[in-house]
Amino acid sequence: MGLPGEPRPAGLAGDVHALGRAVAITTIGQRWREGVLLRLRPVRQGFAEHVRVTEGPSGLYRELLTQSPRLDHGVRLLTREHAAIVAAILAVQQIAERSEAPPDELRHRAGHLLRRLARHRRRGADLLWEAYQTDLGGET
């Protein structure tokens, strides 16, 4: 998760990093749950902003499809992932808010969310690479 004093990523990536650190803390209890919830809030907000910026009427996905219609499948996949990730964020929040929920369940769900977010980020980066690496001169 990085060395002490090492710069941390900003924005949503930094918030995801902070959530991962909160989940990984070995001491569990109510304060641990509160820490996970505290770090989950900016992830939820940042991801909502990500969805708005990518799926909105003048969003990135519309721009990509205008320039490169062949990317439709990848855009649809990422859009479907948005709904699944929002559901995963809600699941982690609900478990963290239940003090009687086993800590292992919270760790498992949070780990699942973190893996989904990492996979989504990679797929998004791959789609952008495909769009701009291939289409430097426009769609042929």
- Residue 71 in any domain: the answer is yes
Among candidate residues 138, 130, 15, 11, the one with its CA nearest the CA of residue 78: 130
pTM of the prediction? Answer: 0.84
Burial of 100 (0-12, 13-18, 19+ CB in 10 A): exposed
- pLDDT score at 28: 83
Tell me if 26 is assigned to some domain.
yes
Total count of domains within the chain = 1
Identify whether 3 is part of a domain: no
> How does residue 132 score in pLDDT terms, banded at 50, 70 and 90?
confident
Is residue 140 situated within a structural domain? Answer: no
Domain that holds residue 50: 11-128
Q: Considering the domain boundaries, does residue 56 fall inside one?
A: yes
Q: What is the mean pLDDT of residues 99-111?
A: 94
Q: Which two tokens stand for residue 24?
A: 């990984």
